[in-house]
Amino acid sequence: MSTPAREMGRKDASFEREPARRVFASELRECRYQFKDGEDEKSPTFVLLPTGERCNRIFIVGTLTEKQRQGEQNIFYRGRVVDPTGTFFIMAGSYQPEAMQQLAKIETPAFVAVIGKPTLYRKDEASTPMVSVRVESINIVDKDTRDLWVLDTAERTLDRIEAFATGTGPDVLKAKEQYPTIDPVTFRKIAYEALAQIKI
């Protein structure tokens, strides 16, 4: 049976070249490697997950716990979306006017579904890279949709871990090189802990 979370992810992916990947906050925050796929100026930019999958766009569902309007002339919004494993940091500005208007209208706290592009940034040269999600769309959803997203995301995470263990593809090999101190099995425990927090 189709679910709102599955339908949203599938519908969105059909209009874009790159599908929106489901990933928990705890894994996304460990991303440290970003790259372009191609030499062209318009080539897509990806972050590489520690479990060995590239992400140009992601699909997340969680609780929008806070948002802030910032800037005077160039107005933009920052927010925090919390899933059972941690926090996503999101933003929407003048380059995403529709997303910015959507975010501006939502009162916290609220369950939201977000599709956006993850980007690595540093506060300064010495700081650890952080991940921000540039919002393409954000909509209020219900708890059932959030729970189904957790179920789907846990399944995708476990699939990636299994593929990582036996895989020899370029993204898996690059992940092993870029994240030598991270054991992907850690995310298996996190996935099961996330599942334990929901009731399907």
* CA atoms within 13 A of residue 121's CA, in its CB half-sphere: 11
Domain boundary assignment for the chain:
4-196
> pLDDT by residue (tens digit) across 82-101?
999 999 999 999 899 999 99
Mapped onto helix, strand or coil, the DSSP state of residue 62 is strand
The per-residue pLDDT of the chain, averaged, comes to 90
Distance between CA 195 and CA 150 in Å, rounded? 7
> pLDDT by residue (tens digit) across 36-47?
988 888 889 999
What pLDDT does residue 9 have? Answer: 46
CB-based contact 137:96 (threshold 8 Å) = no
pLDDT tier for residue 200 given thresholds of 50, 70 and 90 = low
Quick check: 5 pLDDT over 80? no
Q: Phi-psi bin for 86: left (phi > 0), alpha (psi -120 to 50), beta?
A: left
Distance between CA 100 and CA 170 in Å, rounded? 36
What top-level class would CATH report for the domain 4-196? mainly beta
Q: What is the average per-residue pLDDT within 109-138?
A: 93
What pLDDT does residue 17 have? Answer: 59
